A and B are shown apart, each in its own frame.
Chain A
Amino acid sequence: MDFFVQQIVNGVTLGSVYALIALGYSMVYGILKLLNFAHGEVYMIGAFIGYFVLTSLGGASSPMLPVAPLLILMFLAAMLGAGLLGVVIERFAYRPLRDAPRIAPLISAIGVSFFLQASALLLFSAQFRTYNTPQLIPFSTGLEVGPLRISLVRMLVIGSSIFLMLALTLLVSRTRLGKAMRAVSYDREAAAMMGIDVDRVIVATFFIGSVLAGAAGVMVGLVFERVFHFMGFIAGLKGFTAAVIGGIGNIPGAMLGGLLIGLAEAFSSSYISSTFQNLIVFGILITVMLIRPTGLLGSPVLKKV
């Protein structure tokens, strides 16, 4: 039983990271109907920015700042850097293709993803890096509820991702920008005719989505440690899986999908076999795709002639 509950904690930690990545996919897809393959690479760059902020401030063993401001600084830098990267990608790789055949932006996205991966390999070399979190915040500190132990880092990850998701929900449902985003995603042309600056809304969407991915990158660096140039590919695939399972373009769906994928992964690696954990996740995706292509919370799309 303890083991079971512990796996739930693991799954939720992992799931909240996937949910943050999934949100970026989902928002961009909702507005542009574009599958942003480069999103996983934005997340990878976020993790690297967090790493370099940490090491330039003395590293985990001898930080020059107290822990709390250090973490906040890491998060802020990674989020800002990732957000700007997302905006640049949109400006140069996707905007010229706004009215091109559907295949063009997708191939362009694959190209961006490949380019960013290779750039990271060139700039940061192929070695694995770690944040060394245990030296910063010992894993032993944390909450103990009976036999269950939740380390502080995990609580931090879960807490901050809930905070980010709440902020996003409020942004989309309460602000003018959120309203404009919903309008553009519903009907871009009509929104433009109503005086919404569509380009600005798209840029904002990319920025927000990439900010979330940057935050997810730092979280993964904190909890699961390894940071390397290829980390974005699999994480991107899983984030995308989460977005699709929840219903792409649907914000609560992305959160739900992220949690489901995280839990599925935690349970399959602990109860079935860790070698097949990716296979199980991909299997779930393909099944959902075939049975319910619009995802769990998505509404069926009408085909217009």
Chain B
Amino acid sequence: MPRIGTDEWVEQQELRTEYYTGLTAPARRAFDRVGPGPRFFAFLGICALFPFLTDSPFLIRVGVNVLLFALLALGLNIVVGWAGLLDLGYVAFYGFGAYTYAWVSSGQFDIHLPTELAILIVVTASALLGLLLGLPSWRLVGDYLAITTLFFAQIFVELTTNLDRLQLPWMDEPLDLTGGPNGIPGIDRMQILGIELPGVRDYFFLLLIVFALVVIGLYYVNESRTGRGWRASREDPLAAELMTTPVNRLKLLAFAMGAAIAGLSGSIFAAVQTGVFPQNFEVVLLIMIYAALILGGAGSISGAILGAIIVASVPEILRTPENARFLFYAAAIAVLVATMRPWQRLAVVVGAVVAFGVVVYQLVALAWPEGVEGETAGGRFSGLLGSWMVIPAENQELIGNIAFVLLVAGVLALTQLRGDARVMLLVPTLYLASFVWENRLIAQPSVTRQLLFGAILVAMMTRRPHGLLGTPRVENPV
């Protein structure tokens, strides 16, 4: 074996790469041979087809949300993934972009600038705000920076909610800057290069173009000197500084670029929604953007996109009980298939869960007949489910709550067990999970969404901190 790092070692790189095995191997090898460029354009092509496949304005609106989320996650990726600065005030830039767009193109101050100019102003203003709010990153690192920026986000929400009666000394009447809790309605539709964008479908295409430009731009930035500088200052700011990397300037640049992308998506969001409201920009959204980035893998462009697709579309699927149920069981089975080896054990577990359910159902039906008389939430498999799942006719909420607490305890216990004990506990836990799902969660999509995102963040961090598509990295202890 040649020494690591020598020319001979580099030449033998082929020998060390892992080869795919199994049936899907040729397809996966072919996928790897296609470069990132063609892969991305293929993805864009599929996205561009999407509005032609469906007529439902709702689905296209979901597509718009996915693209907005992807843009936000990409912007956050610059700051968090590449520069390694924990920016919890990110959502403020999104809101600032939306509000700035609203100021220059609505009846609030009766200013209606051409869209191109308005967007230019929004992007410049957001980038400047990013520079300004990035300044603390010179002095503060890690958690301290995180909390300071979180306060910026809070201040933004407080300001937008309260700046509707601003008493200025040189003005007679109070100034209504943000419309307070009622926000600014009646924002102009965009009109780009003389083409008016009246419908959601048009915004989808606009967003797709913006998205493509941003991704291509970011790809080259990441490969450039600047990108390497970010990674260097993320891994070890002190060493990077010594190697003459302008760490402080790079930090500001990261903040400004992230803010510019967030501001841009904010302006499009304002135009799609034709209104901006303070509650659009609360911490919940911040958590969702973080969940998208972390889930996909911080530091990876494709990861940010994948995470955004999952995070923005899952809540929409949860909206109707029928789809939510399908998603729940599909996800449960997918996770089992992905994590259980060998497949015999998987078969045993699935069979055992079904059998366990049947036994529990019969026992409950014997002991307490009202316990199985409840109605399922309806949908495709409700008939089948109704004779497997215990659904009490009364006290459903209380029993569901107790089951939820038990379920959390069960899942926590599962993480501690190994071997056969784990499989034994897995069976009742899975049944309990679907019990809680059918009885309690299916009717409350918004709560379910929050629960899922919280759980995803914790599970991702404890199991796979680099996300689905990210690369693991080792950090030296501080």
On chain B, the residues within 8 Å of A34 by CB distance are 143
> From residue B33, how far is it (CB to closest CB) to chain A in Å?
32
Cα A271 to Cα B143 in complex, Å, equals 33
> From residue A208, how far is it (CB to closest CB) to chain B in Å?
21
Q: Which one, A97-105, A142-150, A215-223, is touching chain B?
A: A97-105
Q: Which one, A73-81, A117-125, A176-184, is touching chain B?
A: A117-125
- Nearest residue (CB) in A for B440 is A122
Question: Is residue B174 contacting chain A, with contact meaning CB distance below 8 A?
Answer: no
Question: Is residue B379 contacting chain A, with contact meaning CB distance below 8 A?
Answer: no
- Nearest residue (CB) in A for B412 is A92
* Contact of B455 with A111 in the complex, beta carbons under 8 Å: yes
Question: Is residue A157 contacting chain B, with contact meaning CB distance below 8 A?
Answer: no
List 22 A-B pairs, Cβ < 8 Å.
Answer: A33-B478, A93-B458, A93-B462, A97-B462, A97-B465, A107-B294, A110-B290, A115-B454, A115-B455, A118-B447, A122-B441, A123-B404, A123-B405, A244-B147, A276-B158, A278-B154, A278-B158, A279-B158, A279-B162, A285-B148, A286-B151, A289-B148
Question: Is residue A282 contacting chain B, with contact meaning CB distance below 8 A?
Answer: yes
Over the window 71-90 of chain A, the binary record of Cβ atoms lying under 8 Å from chain B Cβ atoms (1 yes, 0 no) is 00000000000000000100
On chain B, the residues within 8 Å of A103 by CB distance are 80, 84, 86, 298
Question: Is residue A35 contacting chain B, with contact meaning CB distance below 8 A?
Answer: yes
Cα A98 to Cα B422 in complex, Å, equals 24
* Contact of B477 with A293 in the complex, beta carbons under 8 Å: no
* Contact of A303 with B455 in the complex, beta carbons under 8 Å: no
* Contact of A237 with B150 in the complex, beta carbons under 8 Å: yes
* Contact of A107 with B154 in the complex, beta carbons under 8 Å: no
Question: Is residue B444 contacting chain A, with contact meaning CB distance below 8 A?
Answer: yes
Question: Is residue B159 contacting chain A, with contact meaning CB distance below 8 A?
Answer: yes
Question: Is residue B155 contacting chain A, with contact meaning CB distance below 8 A?
Answer: yes
* Contact of A106 with B151 in the complex, beta carbons under 8 Å: no
Cα A29 to Cα B457 in complex, Å, equals 21
Cα A305 to Cα B146 in complex, Å, equals 23
On chain A, the residues within 8 Å of B128 by CB distance are none
By Cβ-Cβ distance, the 3 closest A-B pairs, closest first, are A111-B457, A115-B454, A114-B454
On chain A, the residues within 8 Å of B477 by CB distance are 99
Question: Is residue B469 contacting chain A, with contact meaning CB distance below 8 A?
Answer: no
* Contact of B457 with A110 in the complex, beta carbons under 8 Å: yes
> From residue A123, how far is it (CB to closest CB) to chain B in Å?
5
- Nearest residue (CB) in B for A117 is B450
- Nearest residue (CB) in B for A120 is B447
* Contact of B139 with A110 in the complex, beta carbons under 8 Å: no
Question: Is residue A108 contacting chain B, with contact meaning CB distance below 8 A?
Answer: yes
Question: Is residue A9 contacting chain B, with contact meaning CB distance below 8 A?
Answer: no
- Nearest residue (CB) in B for A283 is B155
Cα A102 to Cα B86 in complex, Å, equals 10
On chain B, the residues within 8 Å of A290 by CB distance are 136, 139-140, 148
Cα A242 to Cα B83 in complex, Å, equals 29
A contacts with B, residue count (CB < 8 A):
50
Question: Is residue B144 contacting chain A, with contact meaning CB distance below 8 A?
Answer: yes
* Contact of A121 with B447 in the complex, beta carbons under 8 Å: yes
- Nearest residue (CB) in B for A111 is B457
> From residue A226, how far is it (CB to closest CB) to chain B in Å?
19
- Nearest residue (CB) in A for B409 is A88
On chain B, the residues within 8 Å of A105 by CB distance are 461
Cα A93 to Cα B458 in complex, Å, equals 6
Cα A275 to Cα B440 in complex, Å, equals 37
Question: Is residue A48 contacting chain B, with contact meaning CB distance below 8 A?
Answer: no
On chain B, the residues within 8 Å of A241 by CB distance are 151
* Contact of A237 with B238 in the complex, beta carbons under 8 Å: no
- Nearest residue (CB) in A for B283 is A233
* Contact of B287 with A101 in the complex, beta carbons under 8 Å: no
Cα A115 to Cα B458 in complex, Å, equals 9
Cα A290 to Cα B144 in complex, Å, equals 10
Question: Is residue A131 contacting chain B, with contact meaning CB distance below 8 A?
Answer: no
Question: Is residue B456 contacting chain A, with contact meaning CB distance below 8 A?
Answer: yes
Cα A294 to Cα B298 in complex, Å, equals 29
Tell me which of A106, A114, A121, A278 contacts B86 (CB under 8 A).
A106
* Contact of B158 with A122 in the complex, beta carbons under 8 Å: no
* Contact of A275 with B146 in the complex, beta carbons under 8 Å: no
Question: Is residue B453 contacting chain A, with contact meaning CB distance below 8 A?
Answer: yes
On chain A, the residues within 8 Å of B151 by CB distance are 237, 241, 282, 285-286
